[in-house]
Structure 1
Amino acid sequence: MNKDAALVVFSGGQDSTTCLFWAKENFKKVYALSFLYGQKHQKEVDLAREIARKSAVDFEVMDVSFIGKLGRNSLTDASLVMDQEKPADSFPNTFVPGRNLFFLSIAAVYARERGINHIVTGVSQTDFSGYPDCGMLL
């Protein structure tokens, strides 16, 4: 196993970009894995690819569009408009159920198959906007 390598679950957003640069400081080799899950903002993946290229990090994108089809949400369903405010008694309609769990599960298999011992992900508890899967510290 490669104890000097890390895999970053990388969306290209602020949290995962911070994680990417943290990993570059703490591991000899860093890989970045991004996902297409039917999200409207696929441009984020293009940005992730560019950040990885400029950072000299191996980058791969996996198509996991089934995730966006499992539940209704405004990130993957063009017929829904994004909530302007989070409903008081519910999650925002941008919440994609299970998304981070799927990403971490896929990343774990990806890392295992490549002998990578460390997975880095950025989910911000203080900026979780009502998403229950970002309230955990990993």
Structure 2
Amino acid sequence: MNMQTSSPGQAAVVLLSGGLDSATTLAIARASGFACYCLSLDYGQRHRAELQAAAAVAEAIGASEHRVLRLSLDDFGGSALTDDAIAIPVDGVQPGIPVTYVPARNTVMLSLALAWAEVLGSRDIFIGVNAVDYSGYPDCRPEYIDAFEGMANLATRAAVEGSTLRIHAPLIDLGKAEIIERGVTLGVDYGLTVSCYQADETGRACGVCDSCRLRRAGFTAAGLADPTRYTA
């Protein structure tokens, strides 16, 4: 999970949702010298505008390639992000694991990133999880990232043949304001990103879901103007 610089042009797979955290993670990977192969997942999320944002972010930051895979996690449901029958919480961030948790999402995404990394001959995967200003998701914790990295180094041909894989989570210990400040120093245009759990088709944010609240509070704490487009 430790950040390391790369050899010039060394490939890394970066999970890119189109939100603030993943955009910052991509900028960090690029600044570290990696050639970034970005992977986004169309998993049936109701905030599909984030996929358009991911494409814009990948182009702006200079990704080597950007792919979008279709997963249909909405066939299972079980989350407010994939099941229209479950309401998005709008009354403020509450303790515990919220209904916006998507079962096994990060595990599925990291597994796909791992597969692409093997094909690319890459030893590095970047993910923008955060264990400080987050909504209580169990797959955003440091121990989860460590466990997945350990599994990956047992389960892949590359690792068995001596090519150790690293899962980079450069935001894991940062607050939202620190993440924003880091991104600004790297030139991230946060106006391109979409974080809202129920953004409209044009990417405008609701301003009241957990993700919007955490994002807005981050800009306020950083003393920076919030470039987010809100519906009201």
Q: How much has 1:86 moved relative to structure 2?
A: 5.3
Task: Please give the alpha-carbon distance, in whole angstroms, between the structure 2 residues aligned to 1:133 and 1:28.
Answer: 25
Task: Could you list the structure 1 runs, at least 4 aligned residues long, displaced by more than 3 angstroms after superposition.
Answer: 85-88
Secondary structure in 2 aligned to 1:127? coil
- Per-residue CA deviation, residues 20-79 of structure 1 (Å, 9 max, x unaligned), is 0111011241111100000000100100101111222111100011x2333411101112
Counterpart selection for 1:102 from 98, 105, 108: 108
1:120 aligns with 2:105: no
1:60 is aligned with what amino acid? R
Give ranges in structure 1 of 5+ residues lacking alignment.
none
In the comparison of the two structures, how many residue pairs are matched? 135
Aligned-residue CA RMSD (Å): 1.9
TM-score of the two chains, using structure 1 as the length reference: 0.88
Corresponding residue for residue 44 of structure 2: 38
Q: Which has the larger radius of gyration?
A: 2
Of the two structures, which has the highest relative contact order with CA contacts closer than 8 Å and spacing of 6 or more? Answer: 1
Corresponding residue for residue 60 of structure 1: 67
Q: How much has 1:87 moved relative to structure 2?
A: 5.7
1:63 is aligned with what amino acid? R
Task: Please give the alpha-carbon distance, in whole angstroms, between the structure 1 residues aligned to 2:119 and 2:62.
Answer: 21
Percent of residue pairs identical? 36
Corresponding residue for residue 132 of structure 1: 138
Task: Please give the alpha-carbon distance, in whole angstroms, between the structure 2 residues aligned to 1:106 and 1:92.
Answer: 25
Task: Please give the alpha-carbon distance, in whole angstroms, between the structure 2 residues aligned to 1:87 and 1:21.
Answer: 30
TM-score of the two chains, using structure 2 as the length reference: 0.54
Task: Please give the alpha-carbon distance, in whole angstroms, between the structure 2 residues aligned to 1:127 and 1:70.
Answer: 28
Secondary structure in 1 aligned to 2:132? helix
Corresponding residue for residue 80 of structure 2: 74
2:79 is aligned with what amino acid? N
- Per-residue CA deviation, residues 98-122 of structure 1 (Å, 9 max, x unaligned), is 0001000110001111112110001
Give ranges in structure 2 of 5+ residues lacking alignment.
1-5, 146-168, 170-232
Task: Please give the alpha-carbon distance, in whole angstroms, between the structure 1 residues aligned to 2:12 and 2:26.
Answer: 9
2:117 is aligned with what amino acid? A
Contact 2:11 2:120 in 1 (8 A): no
The 1:55/1:86 distance shift into structure 2, 3 A limit, reads closer
Corresponding residue for residue 49 of structure 1: 55
